[in-house]
Amino acid sequence: EITLDLENQLASLDGGYEKLTTAMSKQGEQWHREIDIVINKMKTEISRIKVKHRDILQKHLDKIKQIQALIKQTLLAIEEIKKSTEVSPTIEYSSKIREFSKLPPKVKIALPTFFPKPLDHEKLYNMFGQITPLSTATEENVLSLNQPNTSVRELLDEPELVATIQTGYEKLFSVTYLNEDCVWTFGPTKDIKCFNMKGELLHTVSNKSEQRPNDIAVDSDGNLFFSDGKSKSVNKVNNGQTEELIRLQGWRPSKLCVTSTGGLLVTMISDDDTQCKVIRYSGSTEKQTIQFDDEGKPLYSGSAVIKYITENRNHDICVADCGAGAVVVVNQNGKLRWRYTGHPSVTKNKTFIPFGITTDSQSRILTADHYNHCIHVLDQNGQLLRYIDNCDLKSPYGLCLDNNDNLFVSEHFKGNVKKIKFLR
């Protein structure tokens, strides 16, 4: 399988790079068209100025010629008086020398000047586009994934509500599993709180930026991670001490998850709220960027909305794109596999808007349908298997699973975390 994958990558190499050069050529053609438009616009402006210039000169010339005609007419009249033997015309004659001595001003109109701006090749290069560097991601191949699964767990006919944790929050956001007795969660404040199954508060971590985090996650060692939109950072809490792991520029971290290899996947939104991408990190090092499909189109909606993320057991990367109303799944190389936009239902009549997302030990995908108050359970290929809608769920928001595939759901407006058993 690894050999076949590498051979396929090599086979598609020329085609992929040809698409890049074609895209550059199209950009060049677009630039040429835009430059022609600018030049034609300037030429039109020059023609307009020329007409105005001509009109001013012609108007002044007509005025001068009119004065010349009056002078000639006056000279002829004087010549007639000189030849005349009558006295009265001479007596009545009034000299126009004073009138004609007031010469009209000379008109000097300077031609417009074109100042070509110097070409800044560096700026032109940056404006034309950007070539991202090669992004090489190496993933450990776990042989056990390819072995027959001896512990197949089927879906329960009727999911069971095991426990309800009352957090006291007016609004509840993400939830992440710590161990058999504890979950981390947070509300609209700077505090991230750890509760046991009885709803007792065990630990509190405060965000230094004084605002609520965007998301939380826990690694296999029990370290807490949280993303902070205000400081544009991802932070790690180890033994009560908070350290900044990642700081972004031009982007804000949104949701995050810990991968099977201990790295991080982070969804992030551009500062102008027009773009979204997924970055894979190993520690603080950026390893992979996932943003566009094979046709160069964005995989995710650009608006600054909720985009929870999780990694499936088969290494697929699953994003619940709230803005697009879709679950978007790519493989570990960032290639689009499928999109799920909901399933026709008589009872689920509101638009499918996915919030939280998680996966179970059988590679099933669970996502929170916030406005239809239920959970969609999908197989790894995006086919709907069932709904979880019998545990009196209200506005489900964040999702996570424990090591026994028990589902934890945060209810946004109730402030509760519900523990649900849905597998045999």
pLDDT at 136: 64
**Mean pLDDT along residues 178-192:** 90
CA distance 414 to 199: 14
Q: Bigger pLDDT: 395 or 99?
A: 395
pTM of the model: 0.65
pLDDT at 151: 67
- pLDDT above 70: residue 95: yes
Strands 374-378 and 285-290: unpaired
**Mean pLDDT along residues 310-330:** 95
- pLDDT above 90: residue 12: no
How many degrees, rounded to 5, is the angle at CA 220 between CA 218 and CA 226? 20
CA distance 41 to 82: 62
Specify whether the CB–CB gap between 232 and 248 falls below 8 A. yes
pLDDT at 190: 93
- pLDDT above 90: residue 180: no
- pLDDT above 60: residue 56: yes
Q: Per DSSP, which regions of 54-145 are E strands?
A: none
- pLDDT above 50: residue 144: no
Kindly report the number of other CB atoms within 10 A of residue 321's CB atom.
25
How many degrees, rounded to 5, is the angle at CA 135 between CA 133 and CA 139? 170
Q: What percent of the chain has pLDDT above 90?
A: 65
Residue 396: which of 348, 346, 362 has the closest Cα?
348
Residue 416: which of 215, 195, 168 has the closest Cα?
168
**Mean pLDDT along residues 288-302:** 93
- pLDDT above 70: residue 140: no
- pLDDT above 80: residue 146: no
Q: Find residue 216's DSSP bridge partners.
A: 226
